[in-house]
A and B are shown apart, each in its own frame.
Chain A
Amino acid sequence: MDGVMNWLTQDRVGSALVKVLLVGNVAPMLVAFLVWLERRVAAWAQDRMGPNRVGPFGLLQSFADLIKFLLKEDVLPGHVNKAMYLVAPCLAVIPPLVVLALVPFADRFAIADVDTGILAAFAFSGIGVYAIALGGWASNSKYALIGAVRASAQLISYEICLGLAALGVFIVAGTLRLEDVVKMQADGFTIHGETLHGISKFFDWNIVKQPIGAIIFLIAAFAETNRTPFDLPEAESELAAGYHTEFSSMKFALFFLGEYVAIVAMSSLFTTLYLGGWTLFGVENAFEGTTAQTLLQILIFLAKTMCVIFTFIWVRWTVPRFRYDQLMDLGWKRLMPATLAWLAATACVVAFLK
């Protein structure tokens, strides 16, 4: 028994397997909770009850929905391109899930700690475009195709801003490894030669050092995950359901899941880059060197990520949808020059003042 435990926690292969299974299972669970949260917050924002019948506070609603999705007929329409029609939902889920593999949830607890972590994360989230483009194209439906074209143009437009905004963090950090970025935010900054302590460690967080970058990153993240105010790909009043109009049963559920996993992935990236990741003013080291420490750090990380996710939901029920030309204007003519200017300023400060 001890041998097994050792293998699972110490051995590289064993611990990797544990992490893969842990993250791979927790992420969908988190999505189930997130869908419930979204509906409850929506109800709260609109002054109604929301789902409250299945389980306590309606918490099991998502599982009821899942069972319903599983039981629904899986229609394979005759007019679709079969191979691509089946590939699209897979591509919707797998890339954002893999992004989660690169996020450090606690000290030395990233599934894959690679030295170009952030680029790998962007690379995989970039693959997500294919799910939408293929989903719309394979459906052979005009609504779906228009939704897909809109969506892929939107995604590629904001991907640049996302990358450029994140660059500021790495200029300040001087590394591309996400774990180091987190550590930089815990103990990297000094004022008059004195390291910050306690609550004032907040000023180490990148959201303080990179406020504009953080805002642009968040806006681009909204656009990348097709959230309101950027939910034009599935603007239901114009496009039926957009690129997944023709998908039914679990295939639709996978698109749905992929969208929420992408939100979780983007929120955890935001937490890592700007909110200090798994650190919290030194509290994270409360149980030095034990498993409890790792658990505490994961909890801190999850709590911060939930705050970001709440912002996603909050914005969704506050801001109305953009028109397409406004969306493109914002991306290319506002955010892009703003990001470049911010980047130049950041680099200038780092290069000339330090």
Chain B
Amino acid sequence: MPQDTLNQDFATILVFLVFGALFVIANMVLVGRLIRSKTKYTEGKSTVYECGEPTFGSAFVRFDIRFYVLAVVFAIFDVEVVFLFPWAAVMKSLGPVAWLEAAAFVGVLGVGLAYIWRKGDIDWIPAHGHTRQAGKTLPGELTTVPTDGVPAATIPAIATPAVAEAR
């Protein structure tokens, strides 16, 4: 009964998951709480750690759109990999036909890779040595300056001059 044992094996994974969860919770919540000494809560402990600089604005800022493209492309290639795994398993028995089938499949997706390559969506701009193109920002760069209740004058310039001009 191969299927029966298969499900039992997956059930074992579930047991292991529960074990892992218990392990984590015990370590994170219980053990420390029992042996740790009481400490005073001070205002400073609840501030954001930014190396001593006073923090400004919220950290929930919008970031670069190219991460979205990257995530889409990742999801698509992940599907490709998933399709190729069962193919790899039967590759030997099916022979040259299977090779051609997969080549066609990967070839079409290869066109997709070439397309994003050509369009520059997997180009990350070097931090130095090249002039930065107008309107482009580095990944993770704060493209909108958070303004919730903070006077504009107190906000240091985050965007680089080139970017500011483009806007």
Contact = CB atoms under 8 A, between A and B. Distances in A.
A–B interface present (Cβ within 8 A): yes
Interface of A: 12, 16-17, 19-21, 23-24, 28, 69-75, 77-79, 86, 89-90, 93-94, 97-98, 101-102, 111-116, 118-120, 139-146, 149-150, 153, 156-157, 159-160, 163-164, 167, 170-171, 174-176, 240, 245-246, 249-251, 253-254, 323-325, 327-329, 332-333, 336-337, 340, 343-344, 347-348, 350-352, 354
Nearest to B64: A149
Interface in B1-50: 6, 8-10, 12-13, 15-17, 19-21, 23-25, 27-28, 31-33, 35-37, 39, 45-50
Given A98-B16, A351-B96, A323 B126 contact: yes
B46 A324 contact: no
B interface, size bucket: 35 or more
B49 A240 contact: yes
B61 to A, nearest CB: 7
A246 B27 CA distance: 18
15 contacts: A23-B16, A73-B36, A89-B28, A97-B16, A111-B12, A112-B10, A119-B82, A141-B49, A142-B61, A145-B60, A153-B139, A167-B85, A174-B93, A323-B127, A333-B117
A170 B87 CA distance: 9
A271 B120 CA distance: 37
A115 B6 CA distance: 8
Given A142-B59, A351-B95, A90 B28 contact: yes
A159 B8 CA distance: 28
A95 B117 CA distance: 32
B80 to A, nearest CB: 8
A328 B35 contact: no
B32 A348 contact: no
Contacts of B25: 90
Given A79-B46, A93-B20, A351-B99, A140 B124 contact: no
Sorted nearest first, the 9 A-B pairs with minimum C-beta distance are A325-B124, A78-B46, A170-B88, A163-B81, A351-B99, A156-B74, A174-B92, A112-B9, A94-B20
Contact of A340 (B24, B106, B126): B106
B163 interface: no
B20 A344 contact: no
B12 A70 contact: no
Given A93-B24, A329-B124, A332-B122, A142 B46 contact: no
Contacts of B77: 160
A250 B32 contact: yes
A140 B48 contact: yes
Given A240-B49, A328-B122, A70 B82 contact: no
Nearest to A113: B9
Contacts of A149: 63, 67, 139-140
A128 B29 CA distance: 21
B35 to A, nearest CB: 6
B152 interface: no
Contacts of B88: 167, 170-171, 174, 176
Contacts of B17: 94, 98
Contacts of B91: 171, 174, 347, 350-351
Contacts of A332: 113, 117, 122
B140 A150 contact: yes
